[in-house]
Amino acid sequence: MLSESTKSSRISEDEMNKVLAKAEKEAEKKDHKKQWIERMIKSAKTYYKLCPYYDKKSSKCFLTLGDKCTREGRYENCPIFIGYLDQKYNEIIQKKKMLPMDFLDLAQMI
Ligand code: SF4
């Protein structure tokens, strides 16, 4: 006979499948988000050579509410820019709205 603690630490096949399905769904979501972020960066690059949130005169970043941009407006791999898109993705999904496919449409949503 198994003790209570041994019983409760066992995971049934059903539960295991549920956990796996959930992990798979999470991975899919992450992938979708990543793809969308890449698409937005690509789209932004067709409009902006330098970061749209970069103030050339003062070298400040609008997204950080005035911190200096240390990248001189090169936003392709900027963690702040990517973090911003990540946050926008979450907001849009949460509101069950359509994800824009063009960076300018995203900028208009805000
Ligand atoms: S820190 Fe990043 S998001 Fe901010 S202005 Fe510079 S490149 Fe743009």
Ligand 1 pocket member 78 (CB < 6 A): yes
What contacts 10, CB < 8 A, 6 or more positions away?
2
The alpha carbon of 9 and the centre of ligand 1 are apart by a number of angstroms equal to 48
Query: Which residues are CB-contacts of 78 (< 8 A; sequence separation ≥ 6)?
Result: 51, 71
Cα 25 to Cα 42: distance, rounded to the nearest angstrom: 26
Q: What is the reported pLDDT for 54? A: 97
pTM summary value = 0.79
CB atoms within 10 A of CB 110: 6
pLDDT tens string, the chain, 110 residues long: the values are 544 544 556 788 999 999 999 999 888 888 999 999 999 999 999 999 999 999 999 999 999 998 999 999 999 999 999 999 999 999 999 999 999 999 999 988 85
What pLDDT, on the 0 to 100 scale, is given for residue 25?
87
Tokens 């926008």, residue located: 88
Residue with tokens 């820019």: 81
